[in-house]
A and B are shown apart, each in its own frame.
Chain A
Amino acid sequence: MIPTHWFLILSAVLFAIGVCGVLTRKNGITIFMSIELMVNAVNLTFLAYARQFHQLHGLIFVFFVMAIAAAEAAVGLAIFISLFHHRETIDVDEANLMHW
């Protein structure tokens, strides 16, 4: 059996890599992918705890997180498409006006 804190450390590493991606990249799609990476790291934490205490609630929560992440991805990418149609760029530094 693999100790639970190893999964938590892996989750922390993936989360930190996601944070690094969000902070250092300018491409909007890459930032979005780093956010998905962070969400997956959190999913892993939930499942590690679910197995540790033999509770099904962790699994159900991960189920809902996946559904919501799917909805978020759809809407977020629609926003990016809309941004691209207006400004011809996906660079988030260029999206700096409140209304144009």
Chain B
Amino acid sequence: MFEFAIFFFFAAVAVIFALVVVLHHNPVVGALALVASFFALAVMYVLLEAPFLAALQVIVYAGAIMVLFLFVIMLLNLQHRREEPTRPVQQFLGYTGSAAFLITLVYYLVKYAAFQALPAGTFNSDVRLIGTELFQAYIFPFEMVSILLLAAIVGALLLSGRSVRASAQ
């Protein structure tokens, strides 16, 4: 009973703050609302018996990626520029398209998503098991992701390093 209350409260928080992200004109308020939404999603992950991923969600998404977003928004001083309103045609098509998409998805989910009862016993998802899996079955993607992160760091440095290119010209 308690779990249902937690689920509904944090699901409402996640959806409401997601709407704030999409609808508010100020990107800083949008970024902070997205942080709140990610936090609510982390609670959802705990309800899904994956506490390690909940902690990772807060560390990686809410604690690092969104800070990066906030830095970029503040350094580029974007909040003072009022975004031009989108053309009415694009707005109408966008809202109705995504509403139709949502209604179709929810309809098919409610109609066809019938699962059997959950397997008995707890879902053993502690850190030790995930670590073992990562270093045994998934060792190749693990190493590849580290190289990908290196490529991302070098790419980000190159793309935003204005002075390097200006002096090269």
Contacts and interface: CB of A to CB of B under 8 A. Distances in A.
Q: Do A and B bind each other?
A: yes
Interface of A: 1-10, 12-21, 23-27, 29-30, 32-34, 36-37, 40, 43-44, 47-48, 50-54, 56-57, 59-60, 62-64, 66-75, 77-82, 84-85, 89-91
Contact of A30 (B30, B49, B106): B30
A24 B68 contact: no
A91 B83 CA distance: 8
B109 to A, nearest CB: 5
Given A73-B68, A75-B155, A27 B83 contact: yes
Nearest to B11: A10
A74 B14 contact: no
A15 B110 CA distance: 16
A16 B11 CA distance: 15
Given A27-B83, A85-B162, A18 B18 contact: yes
16 contacts: A5-B110, A14-B15, A17-B21, A18-B22, A23-B94, A25-B86, A30-B27, A33-B34, A56-B125, A59-B52, A66-B61, A74-B156, A75-B156, A75-B159, A81-B159, A91-B83
Contact of B125 (A9, A21, A59, A72): A59
Interface in B112-169: 113-115, 118-119, 121, 123, 125, 129-130, 133-134, 138, 141, 145, 148-149, 151-153, 155-160, 162
Interface residues of B, number: 83
A53 B2 CA distance: 23
A39 to B, nearest CB: 9
Nearest to A66: B60
Contact of A60 (B22, B130, B159): B130
A32 to B, nearest CB: 8
Contacts of A48: 48
B115 A3 contact: yes
Given A2-B7, A25-B22, A56-B133, A74 B138 contact: no
A29 B102 contact: no
A45 to B, nearest CB: 10
Contacts of A64: 138, 141, 145
Contacts of B94: 20, 23-24
